[in-house]
Amino acid sequence: MLQDLLSGVRDRVVLAVTFLAMLELMKRREIVVEQAAPWGPIVARATTPAERAAAGVTDASLERPLDEGLESFA
């Protein structure tokens, strides 16, 4: 769970960077983030091969470097 990952972290920069890293992993379809209820626990897990295939993600696309530009946010 996200709460377990960040328990004890008080540095806002670390919190922000972790959150942004999770967003990037979600964008690349490497993880799925789920929350069953509002204000409930946030659970992150690796995507299954079937989920990656359904999203059109191939192993080759996971090998490319991370997009660190801001163009993808436009």
pLDDT tens per residue across span 1-49: 777 878 888 998 988 998 899 999 998 888 999 999 999 988 999 999 8
> What is the reported pLDDT for 59?
65
pLDDT at 66 over 70: no
Maximum separation of any 2 CA atoms in the chain, in Å: 38
Domain membership of residue 70 (yes or no) is no
> What is the reported pLDDT for 73?
59
- Domain around 41: 2-64
> What is the reported pLDDT for 67?
64
0.75 exceeded by the pTM?
no
Sequence-separated (6 or more) residues with CB below 8 Å from residue 71: none
Domain membership of residue 47 (yes or no) is yes
Counted domains in the chain? 1
Whether residue 25 contacts residue 55, with contact meaning beta carbons closer than 8 Å, is answered with: no
